[in-house]
Amino acid sequence: MQSLPKPILALLALVALGATVVVVSGCGTSTANTERGRTLFRQNCGTCHTLAQAGTSGTQGPNLDDAFAAAREVGQDSGTIEGIVEAQVENPRPSNGDPAVSMPADIVSGQDLNDVAAYVGEWAGVPGAEPPQVAGGPGAQVFNNAGCGSCHKLAGVEGAIGTTGPDLSEVLPGVSAEKIHEDIVDPNAEIAPGYSPNIMPPNFGESLSEEELEQLVEFLVEKTSKGG
């Protein structure tokens, strides 16, 4: 028998899990802070998962928009999705102890988990969802939309709190625009000391237009120059 595509298998697993979770999860967590959940999601989950409203483009784990768009179409509401996310974080499937292929259990917990689950429940799979508008011009918007702040710190930029990649305020001063462009579109060409290859998504050259890349590079040069 022909194997089902991985996105369909992932969706079936989520729907099956949802059938159980909906019985016990109620109508969601009324005390959750979804704005805080967005920040926590970008910091802890965005390197592995794509979620349009968060501006993340991770590919190691399922695309949450793709998975939950189909789930919404079959009648699952935000509260049900929230319960599915909570259960999956607490008990990842599959769970084999290998962080390269399996999400660690309890990557967030307690109130952090409540906030992340409520945020994902509110936005995953919502048609037309996109990151909120930010100040700072088109380059700042590209930086935000692409989820750069979920992996990198950048002084003076709200939400740029990531630690998965280098602190851009420290490594970019004095670097040419051409080199920054190369590092974005081909991140494995030169790995920063202390970091591993294949962490930064290699597809920004395709997912961003040339105009967006130019705007992003200009923004980074401006923010990390001596006068920035």
Instruction: Break the chain down into helix, strand, coil percent, rounded to 5.
Output: 50, 5, 45
For position 227, what pLDDT does the model report? 55
Alpha carbon distance 51, 43 (integer Å): 13
pLDDT tens for each residue of 54-63: 988 888 889 9
Strand-pairing partners, residue 153, are 161
Tokens 């979804």 found at: 34
Cβ(29)–Cβ(82) below 8 Å: yes
pTM assigned to the model: 0.63
**Tokens encoding 55:** 């501006």
> pLDDT means per 10 residues in the chain (228 residues)?
42 45 43 88 85 86 93 90 94 66 86 96 95 93 88 90 91 96 94 88 87 97 81
Alpha carbon distance 34, 38 (integer Å): 6
Is the dihedral angle over the CA atoms 30, 31, 35, 41 positive or is it negative? negative
Helices (H), the chain: 6-25, 34-44, 64-73, 78-90, 110-123, 138-145, 168-171, 177-185, 204-207, 210-224
Burial grade of 126 (CB within 10 A; 0-12, 13-18, 19 or more): middle
Count of H-run helices and E-run strands, the chain: 10, 2
Alpha carbon distance 152, 162 (integer Å): 4
Q: Is 39 left (phi over 0), alpha (psi -120 to 50) or beta?
A: alpha
Q: How many CB atoms lie within 10 A of CB 194?
A: 6
For position 101, what pLDDT does the model report? 63
pLDDT tens for each residue of 26-45: 444 458 999 889 888 887 88
Tokens 């945020």 found at: 119
Query: Is the N-terminal amide bond of 7 cis, ω within 30° of 0?
Result: no
| Domains in the chain, CATH or no CATH each | 6-123 (1.10.760.10), 138-224 (1.10.760.10)
